[in-house]
Chain A
Amino acid sequence: MIEKMAKVEILGLKDIALDAIDVIHDLGTLHIEDLTERISTMETKRVTRMEMDPKFADHEATLNNLRAKVGDMIRELQPDVETMAQEDIATEYKALWSENVEVMISRIEKMLREVETDTRDTVERKADLLVELSRIEKYAPIMAKVQPLAERVARMQDMASIALIIERKYKAILNYLNEEISKITDGECEIISSDVDDESTAALIVFNRRFLKQVHEFLAVQDVNQVRLPSDLAKKPIDEAVGEVRARIALIPGEVDAIDQKLGAVTGKYSVKLIAGRNAIHDRLEAMDAVPKFAQTDQVFIISGWLPEQYVEPMDKALTDKFGNKVILTVVDIREEHESEETPVALHNNPFTRYFEVLYMLSKYPRYGTVDPTIVFAFFFPILFGMMVGDIGYGIIIMVAGWIVHKKFASKPMINMIGFVLTVGGAWTIFFGIIYLEFFGDWLYNWLGLLNKQGELEKYIVGTKESIFKWPLDRIEGFTFMLAVCLIIGWIHMGIGLIIGMVNGKREGNYKHAMEKGGLFAVLTGAMMIIAKFGMDWWPMWLAYVGVLLVVGGIVLSGIGAGFGGAIEGVVGMGNLFSYARLIAIGLASVIMANVANQILREPPMSGFGGIIIGILMFILLQALNIVIGVFSPSIHSLRLHLVESFGKFFEPAKVRYEPFKKTGGEE
């Protein structure tokens, strides 16, 4: 249901405005109204937007700067917030919050200086080591390839060598280099190459030392990578350098681990202070951002907003206790100001239904003053889902998977809610699975010997083939009966939507709206009566005539209520009813696919052991695919039946959600 809201205006002496804002922020129940627009339309110029003291504007800049620094430090140290004691963070937060802004800033700055002192050297050293490691790891394979060649060159005093690394796909360039360097060195050069890995080739150019300068100049203008060793290794013989590189590769991870341990100790020491600091800065800035939404005169400040009625008294008491009669809270009559459209909406549902508020991740909240349809969704969504999937085996899997998701993602509201919705959907899937007697398709029919030689259902546990109500209810054989059941469910589902539409019309005093919805309901009922006679032959002809009268009367009533559009809507409403045929159609597609998987397992495409393996694999693959489709498709279609067919008949979206001005506990 939609929480009953109250609109309040808080007036007080201007010199205590910031203290009053702090109290409201602490309570965290007031949804602030931005008064800027109202002020601009006022004739009097005595009321203006509340402005922050210039001193506080400086604080805002400092706090923004600190927020960035604290954020960087948290990213650097990566404290595990999940495992930290929340009470410690709360205590540290309170200590920071209880000070004025100047003291809070200086405490956070001091803490940051301490953290920086403890971490600066280690963080820099770690970064250097990681850079070094990545660089020498790159050299190691190249040097290993070049080393034997370089050793031979080293023994020849008058020869020089340059190592290159080239992408393998451009290996042909070595021929070009050979030709050009031969020209420079009068043929006194040789290029030896060897592939390093799949992508690169190492090459060593050996040439007479006399041409060292010219060759370097030539290579400088070519697009080739010369292997340049780190400066400390460049002057060493290559075999020594290789040994040193290998030793460094072995040593650096140990050094990094030691630094990580040191940083871990620093993280442990400062993580609570950092998180509390981040939260305090965030909330302080939020409070500062809110100030321009308020109004002021020379003497008083004005704060306007909404809050659930139950919170009005605690807020009044908190303000009176702290400021006496220097601050006054007044409740404004929402109806008087015709502001129900602007009123923010908060939902208050029971713990079960609350999980189904996941619906509003896809849609806006219902408008204030209308009926909250969450309970309709909570009741019908899992039933329609279960009716479509309808298989005991699939239901168990969906229910267990949903429950695991629900429990595992307790801290992620959307996934947590989806997990719960799936769990309930899974339970209904089992229920309908029992009605259809389906367990991964037709296994139960086989095990209980209900099928004849042609694979058709012949025996029934309850009733006979001719009975209207029998068990099991085979969806393939009983297609027409199920189609009728789907239409009845559609009539109930859409009927509830139309009744809610009538209630909304009455609540808003819009009786034409109520009349339109009533007309649509009559059309639907009449259509059902006609279908029951001509489609199923369930009752006498005179009831079909009554149905025709209801359809005609309903279209006229809708036309009176909403004009030509209403009359058209009446006709379209009948089409919406047939949309519920998807409840049987999608389920039927699912059961046929499951039966195909079972058939492949029972009669594999080839004989022998190979056939059995292929049969099992195909069975698992098709059943798994069917379960995945069985979760997505019925979810989307059940959702669509709600949002288009049922809610489309009454739902009016809210403009604003209730988002109270409160301490958020810090940014994510």
Chain B
Amino acid sequence: MGPALRVGLIALSAALAIGLSAIATALAQSRIGAAMAGAIAERPELVGSAIILVAIPETMVILGFVVAFLITALKTVTK
């Protein structure tokens, strides 16, 4: 496997790590966000809980970002 292909695959892996986790987070947040918007309309005091609940799925994309960053570090290891 040539070095260019290797770097390309590393970059693709990193992109998949952040991209797929971002899609998963977006799907989860869209559902939670819609549900919480409805809940807040009925009970405005839930706004604090809403912010926290909407932030919960962000863990996925954050961990995806961390993994992607660690994968890009492989680029230097494999030189």
By a beta-carbon cutoff of 8 Å, the part of chain A in contact with chain B is: 361-363, 479-480, 483, 578-579, 581-582, 584-586, 588-589, 636-637, 639-640, 643-644
Would you call A578 and B56 a contact (CB within 8 A)? Answer: no
* A589 and B63 contact, Cβ closer than 8 Å, known pairs A362-B48, A640-B56, A643-B52: no
Binds A, one of B2-10, B24-32, B65-73: B65-73
Cα separation A640 to B70 with both chains bound (whole Å) = 24
Choose among B48, B55, B63, B65 the residue that contacts A363 (Cβ–Cβ < 8 A).
Answer: B48
Would you call A362 and B55 a contact (CB within 8 A)? Answer: no
Choose among A361, A479, A636 the residue that contacts B55 (Cβ–Cβ < 8 A).
Answer: A636
| Chain A nearest Cβ from B76, distance in angstroms | 11
Would you call A483 and B48 a contact (CB within 8 A)? Answer: no
Would you call A585 and B66 a contact (CB within 8 A)? Answer: yes
Q: Which residue of A lies closest to B69 (CB)?
A: A479
Would you call B62 and A586 a contact (CB within 8 A)? Answer: yes
Q: Which residues of A contact B55 (CB under 8 A)?
A: 636-637, 639-640
* A582 and B49 contact, Cβ closer than 8 Å, known pairs A479-B73, A588-B69, A640-B55: no
Q: Which residues of B contact A483 (CB under 8 A)?
A: 66
Is B12 an interface position by the 8 A CB rule?
Answer: no
Question: 12 new A-B pairs (CB below 8 Å) besides A479-B70, A585-B65?
Answer: A480-B70, A579-B59, A582-B59, A584-B66, A585-B62, A586-B62, A636-B52, A637-B58, A639-B51, A639-B55, A640-B52, A640-B56
| Chain B nearest Cβ from A359, distance in angstroms | 9
Q: Which residues of A contact B69 (CB under 8 A)?
A: 479, 585, 588
Cα separation A582 to B65 with both chains bound (whole Å) = 9
Q: Which residue of A lies closest to B46 (CB)?
A: A362
Q: Which residue of B lies closest to A575 (CB)?
A: B59
By a beta-carbon cutoff of 8 Å, the part of chain B in contact with chain A is: 48-49, 51-52, 55-56, 58-59, 62-63, 65-66, 69-70, 73
Q: Which residue of A lies closest to B65 (CB)?
A: A585
Would you call A644 and B62 a contact (CB within 8 A)? Answer: no
Instruction: List, sorted by A's number, 14 A–B pairs whose CB atoms are closer than 8 Å.
Output: A361-B48, A362-B49, A362-B52, A363-B48, A479-B73, A480-B70, A483-B66, A581-B66, A582-B59, A582-B62, A585-B66, A588-B69, A636-B55, A644-B56
Would you call B63 and A581 a contact (CB within 8 A)? Answer: yes
Cα separation A480 to B73 with both chains bound (whole Å) = 10
Q: Which residue of B lies closest to A361 (CB)?
A: B48
Cα separation A588 to B62 with both chains bound (whole Å) = 11
| Chain A nearest Cβ from B51, distance in angstroms | 6
Q: Which residues of B contact A644 (CB under 8 A)?
A: 52, 56
| Chain B nearest Cβ from A589, distance in angstroms | 7
| Chain B nearest Cβ from A476, distance in angstroms | 9
Q: Which residues of B contact A578 (CB under 8 A)?
A: 63
| Chain A nearest Cβ from B21, distance in angstroms | 11
Q: Which residues of B contact A579 (CB under 8 A)?
A: 59
Q: Which residues of B contact A643 (CB under 8 A)?
A: 52
| Chain B nearest Cβ from A546, distance in angstroms | 26
| Chain B nearest Cβ from A577, distance in angstroms | 12
Q: Which residues of A contact B62 (CB under 8 A)?
A: 581-582, 585-586
Q: Which residue of A lies closest to B48 (CB)?
A: A362
| Chain B nearest Cβ from A509, distance in angstroms | 31
Cα separation A578 to B62 with both chains bound (whole Å) = 10
Q: Which residue of B lies closest to A483 (CB)?
A: B66
Q: Considering residues A579, A582, A639, which has the most beta carbons from chain B within 10 angstroms of its beta carbon?
A: A582
* A589 and B65 contact, Cβ closer than 8 Å, known pairs A643-B52, A644-B56: yes
Q: Which residues of A contact B65 (CB under 8 A)?
A: 585, 588-589
| Chain A nearest Cβ from B45, distance in angstroms | 10
Q: Which residue of B lies closest to A632 (CB)?
A: B51
Cα separation A639 to B49 with both chains bound (whole Å) = 11
| Chain A nearest Cβ from B69, distance in angstroms | 6
Q: Which residues of B contact A585 (CB under 8 A)?
A: 62-63, 65-66, 69
Q: Which residues of B contact A588 (CB under 8 A)?
A: 65, 69
Q: Which residues of A contact B51 (CB under 8 A)?
A: 362, 636, 639
